[in-house]
Structure 1
Amino acid sequence: MGARLVVGCAAVTPSTTPTTASLTDRRPDVGRERLLADRVPPPHFDAESFDTYRTDPRYPSQQAAVDRLRQVAATLTGQGGGRGWFRKKAPVPAVYLDGGFGVGKTHLLASLAKAVGPERSAYGTFVEYTNLVGALGFRPTVDALATRTLVCIDEFELDDPGDTVLMARLLRELTDRGVALAATSNTLPESLGEGRFAADDFLREIQDLSGRFEVLRIDGQDYRQRDTVTDAAGLPDDVVRAAVAGTPDATLDDFGALTRHLATVHPSRYGALLDGVGLVALTGVAPLADQDVALRLVVLVDRLYDRDVPVLLGGAGESVLFSEQMLAGGYRKKYYRALSRLGALADQGRERLPG
């Protein structure tokens, strides 16, 4: 009995080091309804609309795109409940927003989805839709999305032939069932500022759907004026640990342990993995040798960015994550996007450090 009392006392003795939650302790169980309910514009765009998009008078195509998307929204919402009438009387709108990095394509896509309404529209990135198919199956995904008036696909990616074919089939079946479409894609970083756009690649890859899409070219400069890749060094691991100690909405994980944990969670659940998290801290950040691991990290970074969750990166920092071979390979657009977004989130994290 005495031994039991000693153990019990040890269990309740207050620790001198506040404990911090860990992402590796989370295994979110996300059902079909949550997966579909999450198909809305990310919180990053909660306050945005067509009215908050600031057009640059030097690039008239920006105002032209806003005007056309307002027309699309009016068309899709002006029929009351008569979607059947709409199917019979008018072509189903399908628009592709074509432009360089940082010209506001995602802002406009999110504004279109919000103007049509959350009950009528579905919004997600290309990867989120492929993950949705992986979680629900192809036919259930088509049936669920076919109940919407509009499906928006942000960052349509052309680097995986299998996924591109899958998405082209999904979009074809949705348009055949009267669903309007809107999509965006980005140019590769080496093409920024050169006036090269992705429309030709997009239309070629979706083949028989290409004639259904109206291309809205959006010229302009990157409003963020950020370098694509940041070179900020990682923080000392002890600084990262001290910064989040006792912070209620922070998580603290070893980078290697987190990347291993991501392999056990379906990517469609990475958003739920971040529920209630206001700051993510990682120690021991190091280069990634395996491409599968790197691609899972890209998805997590996208979900962090969608939710404006700052990060603190210990170890080597973000600039070493992806090898030169990865940055020159077929998935380079994903990796450059992740570096840009992770750099922005790391800047936000450093602003929260004392002093």
Structure 2
Amino acid sequence: MDSQPYPPRAGGPLPIYRSMVANGSLAADPSQAHAVDRLQDLWERLRGYDPRPPAPEVPGFFGRVMRRRQTEEYVPTGLYLVGEVGRGKSMLMDLFFDTAEVRRKERIHFHRFIQNVHARFHAYKRAHPQISDPIPPLADQIAKASALLCFDEFQVNDIADAMILGRLFQALFDRGVVVVTTSNTEPDNLFRGQPGRDAFLPFIALIKQRLELVEMNGARDYRRERMRGLRTWHVPADAMAERALDEAFERLTGGATPEPVTLDVMGRTLTIARAADGVARCDFDFLCNQAYGAGDYLAIARTFHTLILDRIPRLSPDNYDAARRFIVLVDTLYDQRVKLIASAEAQPDKLYQRGENAKMFERTASRLDEMQSEDWLGLTHIK
């Protein structure tokens, strides 16, 4: 961090960040210092920002030109904070969002936002079958509610999302919406290697045009540091273990308020009731005593870098279906390098001890042991 004093500025994320460094709650980090300086600059440009309603729709080329000219007059450039996990991107964006002097603003996980968009898109088409293009009225609704949108963990993995995002974001920018987002992926690498990516390239160009890229690749991995020394397997699954998992969730999310996250799994939806900052909290009964399969577990493993799992029971032929699903779950978490923190009725090698399938569980127990090691906890999540 620059040792020269910053010029005095009233409010915003920078003074708070400097205070946190000064009192030792954060270590000085040049990458974070640069990012918070860019956030502070945007904070100043957004003070009291309240864009006027968009001009009435005028069809054709001249309508597009009028809207673009209106946009260029008053919409500040947003920010795209990019870097590996654990660099403090979400923490800095939250400082910015909490202090932003914008009357209409929303901070939301990007996956939840896109799920809401799909739901509203289809609802509008059902309610207004005579409207051929729901994007403009949908953008009107979003822009009316929020002049500032802050997205956490911007990522595109689905072709249906890719097809709708370009036109929606262009419409939002045309309506004066300012976007700040965090991501682990640089814009040029979004949706890379996926079928239909060529149709997604104009959206990437739009993002690069309308959002300033701020790279955060400092040496410190704050998420990994939060993991350091954290006990990951709690036996037995009692009230003490539940309190320990509560504390782990709070520590790993920085005290963020858990919210539901709905995942799309091959046209179905799977809702994780409690999640924040890439951490999901579920119980064994929810994940393993329902008809979920490998696709569901893969969606979870790609979305969350950590799963906190409550109340794993002893396993046997009596609950074989749940045991089989648990094996698939562990294999999927292992393959994607998802961190697992759990409470259970026994240590991994004692979970499944009797019956003809006990031998099959030995590999799972071995993986569960490995997933508690410091080396494993230091591995990078695979999305």
**TM-score per shorter chain, which class?**
0.5 to 0.7
Aligned to 1:98: 82
Conserved? CA contact 1:230–1:319, under 8 Å:
no
Counterpart of 2:159 (choices 152, 158, 161) is 161
Partner of 2:169: 171
Counting only pairs closer than 5 Å after superposition, residues 99-138 of structure 1 correspond to structure 2 as: 99-116=83-100, 119-137=103-121
Q: Report the alpha carbon displacement of residue 200 of structure 1 after superposing the two structures with TM.
A: 3.0
Cα deviation 1:138-162 (Å, max 9, x = unaligned): 6464232212211122111133233
Aligned partner of 1:295 in structure 2 is 299
SS in 1 for 2:224: coil
Instruction: Specify the SS of the correspondent of 1:158.
Output: coil
The whole-number CA distance in structure 1 between the counterparts of 2:70 and 2:96 is 18
Q: 1:75 aligns with which of 45, 59, 82?
A: 45
Deviation for aligned residue 1:78: 3.7
Is the 8 Å Cα contact of residues 148 and 177 (structure 2) preserved in structure 1? yes
Q: Corresponding residue for 1:149?
A: 147
TM-score, with normalisation over the residues of structure 2? Answer: 0.50
Q: Does 1:62 align with 2:32?
A: yes
Q: Distance in 2 between matches of 1:168 and 1:312?
A: 40
Measured in 2, the distance between the counterparts of 1:214 and 1:141 equals: 25
Equivalences for 1:172-187 in 2 at 5 Å?
172-186=170-184
Match of 2:331 among 306, 309, 323: 323
**Structure 1 residues 235 and 124: alpha-carbon distance in aligned structure 2, compared to 1, 3 A threshold:** same
Q: Distance in 1 between matches of 2:241 and 2:233?
A: 16
Deviations 1:23-64 (A, max 9, x none): xxxxxxxxxxxxxxxxxxxxxxxxx96555456887433212
Q: Where in structure 2 are the equivalents of 1:214-253 lying within 5 Å?
A: 214-220=212-218, 221-226=220-225, 239-240=236-237
Q: Which residue of 2 aligns with 1:12?
A: none
Counterpart of 1:200 (choices 188, 191, 210) is 188
**Superposition deviation, residue 71 in structure 1:** 1.6
Q: Give the gaps of 5 or more residues in structure 1.
A: 1-47, 188-197, 250-261, 348-355
Q: Which amino acid aligns with 1:100?
A: E
Alpha-carbon spacing, 1:199–1:151, altered in 2? closer, same or farther (3 Å):
same
CA distance in 1, matches of 2:174, 2:39: 21
Tell me, in whole angstroms, the C-alpha distance in 1 between the residues paired with 2:275 and 2:37.
38
Give 1:242 deviation, angstroms.
Answer: 6.9
Identity of aligned residues (%): 24
Instruction: Indicate how the Cα distance of structure 1 residues 280 and 290 shifts in structure 2: closer, same or farther if over 3 A, else same.
Output: closer
Q: Tell me, yes or no, if structure 1 residue 211 matches structure 2 residue 209.
A: yes
The letter of the residue matching 1:211 is Q
> Contact 2:48/2:102 (CA < 8 Å) preserved in 1?
no
> In 2, Cα distance between the equivalents of 1:80 and 1:283?
47
TM-score by length of 1: 0.54
Contact 1:113 1:152 in 2 (8 A): yes
The answer on whether the counterparts of 1:92 and 1:180 sit within 8 Å (CA) in structure 2 is yes
Gaps of 5+ in 2: 1-11, 55-68, 122-133, 193-200, 247-263, 316-322, 344-383
Count the aligned residue pairs.
251
Give the superposed CA RMSD: 4.9
1:286 and 1:320 in contact (8 A); partners too? no
Residues 81 and 181, structure 2, Cα contact 8 Å, conserved in 1: yes
SS in 1 for 2:79: strand
- The Cα shift of 1:134 comes to 2.6
Tell me: higher relative CO, structure 1 or 2? Use CA pairs within 8 A at least 6 residues apart: 1
Alignment partners' CA distance in 2, 1:180 and 1:154: 14
| Partner secondary structure for residue 102 of structure 1 | coil
Query: Displacement of 1:282 after TM fit?
Result: 2.8
Tell me: CA distance 1:63–1:113, structure 2 relative to 1, closer, same or farther (3 Å). same
